[in-house]
Amino acid sequence: MKLHVDWTACDGRGVCTELLEEMLVEDDWGFPVARDGQRSPAVPPPLEGAAKQAVDRCPMLALKLIAR
């Protein structure tokens, strides 16, 4: 499973970086950046629940999970 961020929608509200601390960090403007440097970072199985919650809570509906 991979996490896709729609950059046209993301407003850098930082909900996902809180829920997926192990995967994402905030850049200087609060936008999420994948720790592994990938555009669509892979979600490790233990974080799948947190990733689903991030998708659900993102206020801009900018997140999507894609099956690889």
- Name the residues that contact another protein, by CB under 8 A: 6, 8-9, 11-15, 18-19, 29-30, 53-54, 56-57, 59-61
- 11 lies in the site for ligand SF4, by CB under 6 A: yes
HEC string of the chain equals CEEEECCCCCCCCCHHHHHCCCCEEECCCCCEEECCCCCCCECCHHHHHHHHHHHHHCCCCCEEEECC
Among 2, 4, 14, 65, which residue sits at the site for ligand SF4 (rule: CB under 6 A)? Answer: 14
Q: Which of 3, 32, 41, 51 binds ligand SF4 (CB under 6 A)?
A: 32
